[in-house]
Amino acid sequence: MVEALKYLDAISLQKEIITEGHSPLLIIANDYNAYFIKNTKGHNPATFLINEFVCHYLLKKWELNTPDISAISVDNQILDTPLSQYHRPYFYNDITFGSKRMDNVIELNNFLEVNGKRDLNRFNSPADLIKISLFDIWVENEDRKPTNPNILLKMENNKIDIIAIDNAFTFCSMNYDSLNPKFISNTYNDNLLYTSFVKEIVKYDKKQDHWAKGIKDYYYFCIDQCSKDYDEIIKNIPSSLGFNENLQESLRLFLFNDKRNQNVLTEFFSRI
């Protein structure tokens, strides 16, 4: 089952979050929740936004935590605060990608190093970081890396949940019709497997019997689920963003190419 995308309207602007990438806006929507929104930058197809929507649904199929999302319309009248060059009024003529703000979270790079099993036991599922690392090779994520983990940590029932955010620079940051399933470009340095944090988790998890087989079975199960629900996923992508049938098919052929998916798994195991 694929949850239907919610469509909302922004009713007030809170602030701009200055980053080296999209510098999202924090807004309040008409459901009275706060969202971080990214605009099209005037592009059509708006590939970076399509990446965000697609990867949200793919992460859900991988049973990995990621914030709730919505497609959010913004009236230029609420953009009455001086903003950076990333927020020209016509960038908001189309729908935006909204990621619901999560309270009481910290970024992974603000967390101390893991020192032993006692630290790992503070997490609900520390292995999620390994799964996210594999996911990032599969979707060619160029932006989730040791220097910019794009991972939030949230305390839930006295345990820490791991939450993946920010998937704009996936699929090699290329147009979908330019993707080539013969190549894997996600480099070792641009993957969380390179961090001492994830290395420590791998060290402990590899001690479990049949660990490698468990990873392989999980990987192919997730790909199968994504493939079965791909048509439902793409129905949720706002049509105005320019994700036409040709691009949808190009992405399908890339994601579900059997040879490439074998190579992704081989690449993953070679890094651990």
pLDDT (0 to 100) of residue 85: 87
Rounded to a whole number of angstroms, the CA Rg of the chain reads 19
Residue 57 lies in a domain: yes
The amino acid sitting at 16 is: E
Q: Is the pLDDT of residue 139 over 80?
A: yes
Least confident of 83-92, 233-242, 243-252: 83-92
> Residues 206, 256: one domain?
yes
Using DSSP, state whether 200 is helix, strand or coil: helix
Of 54, 76, 100, the residue at which a domain comes to its end is 100
Domain ranges, residue 228: 106-270
- H-type helices in 157-235, by residue range? 196-205, 211-228, 230-235
Residue 127 lies in a domain: yes
Residue 1 lies in a domain: no
> Residues 209, 95: one domain?
no
pLDDT (0 to 100) of residue 188: 67
Give whole-number Cα distances, 26 to 15, 171, 252, in Å: 5, 26, 32
> Residues 46, 154: one domain?
no
Per the CB < 8 A criterion, the answer to whether 25 and 36 are in contact is: yes
Buried b (16+ CB within 10 A) or exposed e, 2-15: eeebeebebeebee
pLDDT digits (tens, 9 = 90+) for 141-197: 999 999 899 999 999 889 999 999 999 999 999 999 999 999 888 776 789 998 888
> Residues 157, 25: one domain?
no
Of 100, 134, 152, the residue at which a domain comes to its end is 100
Of 100, 135, 154, the residue at which a domain comes to its end is 100
Report pTM: 0.96
> Residues 227, 116: one domain?
yes
> Residues 95, 145: one domain?
no
pLDDT digits (tens, 9 = 90+) for 15-41: 999 887 778 999 999 999 999 999 999
In terms of Cβ atoms closer than 10 Å to its own Cβ (0-12, 13-18, 19+), residue 191 is: buried
> Residues 91, 117: one domain?
no
pLDDT (0 to 100) of residue 111: 67
